[in-house]
C-alpha cells in the first residue's frame, strides 16, 4: 500500500472528470429513470411518483410495439449484414492482395461521413417510385431486369432496407477489425496445424476461427449498441414517419411534439436497458481479461 | 508450373474480382452524389437519374453553400474547441490511470468505459433541463441551452471515456522505468507529465483529436436536442435543407458533399490515425 501522498495528486487531477462522469452519466441516468417513474405527462405539472406504471403502460401503445419490432428487425439485419460482409471482405484480403491499401481505404471511407449525409444519398437510392417515376436503385434495377421494390416504405420489410445504408457505412469498420484479427493469428500455429495434417479449411476452422472470437464479440457489441439507439439515419432517410419508427425517434417525438417528458424518459430508459444488458457483462469481462494478462 | 501454384493464382484472381465488384457497389453512392450535384435543374427528370450531366453546372453547389455556410461555421466553432478540450482531459486522465494510479483506479476506469456505450437518449432530458437551468442561473440566454457552448460542454463530457481509453492504452506502453527515473530525480506528477509523457504523446493526441473532431462534426442527436436555429451545426442544417420538399436533388447532394468535406479530408490525409482511433473504439490496446 503506497502512501496517500503518492497517489493523492493523481486522484485530484482526475477529480474533475470523475465529477463530470458522475453527474452527467450516472446522475442523469438516475434522474431520467426517476422522471420515467412519475406522471409528469406535460411540461408544467410537478410529477407524482407512480412506480413502474409508465414502463408497463407503454406496452398498450400500438406505436411502441411497432417501434420495438422495427428496432429488432433493423438490428438483426444490420448486425448480421455488417458482420458477414465485413468478415468476408477481410477473409478475401487476409493473405495479402495487390492494392490492399486502396481496397481498405474505399471500404472504410463511409465511416468518415455523417449518418445524415449517408441518409440523404440512400433516400434517393431507395426511392420507392416505380415505372416511369422510378429514380435511384429502382430505375437501375428496371434497366437490368431486376424487380423494383418499396424499399423502406415496405410495410413488412422496410426496416431491412433501412439497414442497407447502415451496412454500407459500418462494414468497412468490421472488415478492419477482422483483418487485424486475422493478422494476429501466429503463422506458426497455422503451420503446426498443417503439419498435423489439417487442410486449409481445417486450419481455418480449428485454428483461425477460435482466435477470432474476441474480435467477433467486440464487433457485435459495437454494432449492437449503434443499432439499438439508431436515430440520425432514420431521421435523414424518412423523418418521423410511423412506417420507420424506432424507439429513439419515438422518444424525440414524445419530448418535442407530444411534450410528454415522462413518456420520453420511459422510452429512453428502455433504450438504455437494452444496451446495458449486454454491454455491462462485456465491459466487466474485458477489464478482467486485461488484468489477467 | 505446379497445380498448387496454378490454383493459388486462380483463387487470387477470383478474390480480386470479388473485391473489385464490392468497390463498385461501395462507390455507387459517391457516383450519385457527385453526378447529381453537378446537374442543372433541366436534367432533373427520373429518366436521366443515372446519366452523367449533359451540361455540368456548379449552380447547385453555389446555392447549397449559401444555405449551409452558417451551419458549417457553427460546426467549426463546435468541433475545434471541443476536440482540443477532450484531448487535454483525456491525456491527463489516461496518464493518471496508467502511471499514477490510486486505489480503485480500475473500478473507476470500468465506470468511465460504460459512459462510452450509453445511449445518449438516456441522459438527454435531464441534460436539457440542466442546460436550461444554467441559462437561467447565469442569465445568459441561448448560451448553454440553445447555444454552441452547451453543445461543446456535452460533447467534451461524454467524450471523456473514449479519450481516456485511447490515452491510457497508449501510455501503458511507456516504460515504467522512465516515470520512476523522473520521480527519483525529484520531479512531481505534473512535472513528469510535462517533461516525460507529453513529449511522446503526439500519436495519441492525433488519434484523439481526429476521433473527436469526426464525432463532433458528424453528431446529430445532441445538436437536435440542444441547439436552436442560430447555433445549428452543419448536420442539422443539412437535414433541414434535404427535408424540405422544394429542395432539388442536385442541391441536396451538393450540400451533403459540402458537409462531409472536412471529415473526408481528415480521412484521406490522416487515415492511419483515424484507423487507430477506430481500433481503440473496439477496446483493443
Cell of B159: 467524450
8 A C-beta contact, residue A17 and residue B164: yes
Decide if A50 is inside a domain. Answer: no
The b/e string for B239-272 (b: 16+ C-beta within 10 A; e otherwise) is: bbbbeeeebbbbbbbbbbbbbbebbeebbeeebe
CA triple A75-A256-A232, angle to 5 deg: 35
A22 assigned to some structural domain: no
Same domain for B131 and B244, yes or no, is yes
Residue A235 resides in a domain? yes
Among candidate residues B124, B114, B199, the one with its CA nearest the CA of residue B154: B124
H helices, E strands: number in chain B: 11, 0
CA distance A43 to chain B (A): 11
Contact A179, A104 (CB under 8 A): yes
Which member of B154, B221, B256 has the closest CB to residue A120?
B256
pLDDT digits (tens, 9 = 90+) for B174-223: 999 998 898 888 888 899 999 999 999 998 999 999 989 999 999 999 99
* Residue A131 pLDDT level (bands cut at 50, 70, 90): confident
**Residues of B with Cβ-Cβ distance to A284 under 8 angstroms:** 110
B53 occurs within a structural domain? no
Residue B137: predicted pLDDT: 92
- Write down the ipTM of this complex: 0.90
Task: Provide the pLDDT confidence category of residue B285 given band limits of 50, 70 and 90.
Answer: very low
Q: Collect all residues with Cβ–Cβ distance below 8 Å to A249 and sequence separation of at least 6.
A: A67, A231, A234, A235, A240
Distance CA B127, CA A29 (A): 10
Is position B251 within any domain? yes
CATH code, A141? 1.10.3720.10
Domain membership flag for residue B135 = yes
**Full domain range(s) for residue A178:** 62-292
The Cα–Cα gap between B106 and B54 comes to 62
Examine the domain organization and report whether B21 and B159 are in the same domain.
no
Contact A107, A169 (CB under 8 A): no
The beta-carbon neighbor of B160 closest among A21, A106, A290 is A21
Nearest by CB: A139 against B49, B102, B120: B49
Q: Report yes or no: A40 and B134 within 8 Å, Cβ to Cβ.
A: no
Using an 8 Å CB-CB cutoff, list chain A residues near B12.
Answer: 97
Residues in chain A: 293
**Quick check: is A53 in a domain?**
no
Domain count, chain B: 2
Residue A1: per-residue pLDDT: 45
Q: Which residue has the cell 463532433?
A: B216
Is there a contact between A43 and A53 (Cβ–Cβ < 8 Å)?
no
Instruction: Report if residue B47 sits inside a domain.
Output: no
Any CB–CB contact under 8 A between B86 and chain A?
A: no
Residues B19, B160 share a domain: no
**Domain coverage including residue B173:** 61-281
- Within-domain flag for A184: yes
Enumerate residues 86 to 115 of chain A having a beta carbon within 8 A of any beta carbon in chain B.
89, 92-93, 97-98, 103, 105-115
Q: Are A164 and A110 in contact (CB under 8 A)?
A: no
> What are the pLDDT digits (tens) for B194-207?
999 999 999 899 99
- B30 and B160 share a domain? no
- Looking at residue B240, which CATH number applies to its domain? 1.10.3720.10
Q: Is A251 on the interface with B (CB under 8 A)?
A: yes
In a domain, B33, yes or no: yes
What pLDDT, on the 0 to 100 scale, is given for residue B3? 47
Amino acid at each position: 500500500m503506497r502512501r496517500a501522498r503518492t497517489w493523492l495528486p493523481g486522484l485530484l487531477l482526475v477529480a474533475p472528470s470523475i465529477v463530470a462522469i458522475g453527474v452527467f452519466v450516472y446522475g442523469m441516468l438516475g434522474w431520467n429513470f426517476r422522471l420515467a417513474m412519475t406522471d409528469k405527462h406535460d411540461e408544467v405539472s410537478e410529477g407524482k411518483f407512480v412506480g413502474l406504471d409508465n414502463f408497463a403502460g407503454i406496452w398498450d401503445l400500438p406505436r411502441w410495439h411497432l417501434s420495438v419490432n422495427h428496432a429488432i428487425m433493423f438490428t438483426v439485419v444490420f448486425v448480421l449484414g455488417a458482420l458477414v460482409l465485413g468478415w468476408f471482405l477481410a477473409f478475401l484480403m487476409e493473405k495479402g492482395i495487390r492494392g490492399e491499401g486502396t481496397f481498405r481505404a474505399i471500404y472504410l471511407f463511409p465511416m468518415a461521413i455523417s449518418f445524415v449525409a449517408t441518409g440523404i444519398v440512400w433516400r434517393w437510392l431507395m426511392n420507392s417510385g416505380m415505372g416511369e417515376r422510378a429514380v435511384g436503385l429502382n430505375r437501375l434495377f428496371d434497366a437490368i431486369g431486376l424487380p423494383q421494390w418499396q424499399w423502406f416504405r415496405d410495410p413488412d420489410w422496410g426496416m431491412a432496407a433501412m439497414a442497407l445504408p447502415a451496412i454500407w457505412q459500418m462494414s468497412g469498420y468490421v472488415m478492419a477489425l477482422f483483418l487485424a484479427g486475422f493478422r494476429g493469428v501466429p503463422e506458426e500455429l497455422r503451420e503446426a496445424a498443417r503439419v498435423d495434417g489439417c487442410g486449409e479449411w481445417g486450419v481455418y476452422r480449428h485454428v483461425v476461427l477460435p482466435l477470432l472470437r474476441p474480435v467477433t464479440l467486440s464487433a457485435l457489441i459495437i454494432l449492437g449498441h449503434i443499432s439499438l439507439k439508431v436515430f440520425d439515419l432514420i431521421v435523414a432517410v424518412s423523418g418521423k414517419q410511423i412506417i420507420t419508427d424506432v424507439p429513439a425517434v419515438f422518444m424525440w417525438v414524445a419530448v418535442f411534439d407530444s411534450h410528454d417528458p415522462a413518456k420520453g424518459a420511459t422510452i429512453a430508459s428502455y433504450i438504455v436497458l437494452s444496451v446495458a444488458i449486454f454491454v455491462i457483462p462485456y465491459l466487466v469481462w474485458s477489464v478482467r481479461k486485461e488484468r489477467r494478462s | 508450373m505446379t497445380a498448387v501454384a496454378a490454383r493459388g493464382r486462380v483463387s487470387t484472381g477470383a478474390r480480386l474480382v470479388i473485391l473489385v465488384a464490392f468497390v463498385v457497389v461501395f462507390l455507387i453512392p459517391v457516383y450519385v452524389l457527385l453526378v447529381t450535384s453537378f446537374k442543372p435543374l433541366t436534367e432533373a427528370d427520373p429518366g436521366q437519374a443515372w446519366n452523367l450531366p449533359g451540361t455540368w453546372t456548379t449552380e447547385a453547389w453555389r446555392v447549397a453553400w449559401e444555405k449551409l455556410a452558417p451551419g458549417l461555421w457553427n460546426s467549426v466553432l463546435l468541433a475545434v474547441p471541443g476536440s482540443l478540450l477532450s484531448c487535454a482531459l483525456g491525456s491527463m486522465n489516461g496518464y493518471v490511470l496508467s502511471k499514477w494510479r490510486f486505489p480503485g483506479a480500475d473500478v473507476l476506469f470500468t465506470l468511465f468505459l460504460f459512459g462510452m456505450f450509453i445511449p445518449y437518449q438516456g441522459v438527454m432530458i435531464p441534460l436539457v433541463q440542466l442546460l436550461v437551468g444554467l441559462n437561467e442561473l447565469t442569465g445568459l440566454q441561448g448560451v448553454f441551452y440553445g447555444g454552441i457552448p452547451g453543445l461543446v460542454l456535452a460533447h467534451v463530457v461524454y467524450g471523456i471515456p473514449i479519450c481516456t481509453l485511447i490515452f491510457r492504452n497508449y501510455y501503458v506502453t511507456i516504460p515504467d522505468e522512465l516515470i520512476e527515473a523522473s520521480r527519483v530525480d525529484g520531479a512531481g506528477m505534473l512535472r513528469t507529465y510535462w517533461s516525460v509523457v507529453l513529449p511522446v504523446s503526439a500519436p495519441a493526441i492525433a488519434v484523439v483529436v481526429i476521433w473527436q473532431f469526426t464525432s463532433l462534426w458528424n453528431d446529430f442527436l445532441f445538436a437536435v436536442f440542444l441547439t436552436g436555429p442560430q447555433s445549428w451545426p452543419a448536420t442539422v442544417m443539412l437535414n433541414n435543407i434535404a427535408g424540405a420538399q422544394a429542395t432539388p436533388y442536385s442541391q441536396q447532394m451538393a450540400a451533403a458533399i459540402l458537409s462531409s468535406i472536412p471529415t473526408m479530408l481528415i480521412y484521406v490525409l490522416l487515415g492511419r490515425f483515424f484507423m487507430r482511433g477506430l481500433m481503440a473504439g473496439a477496446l483493443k490496446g
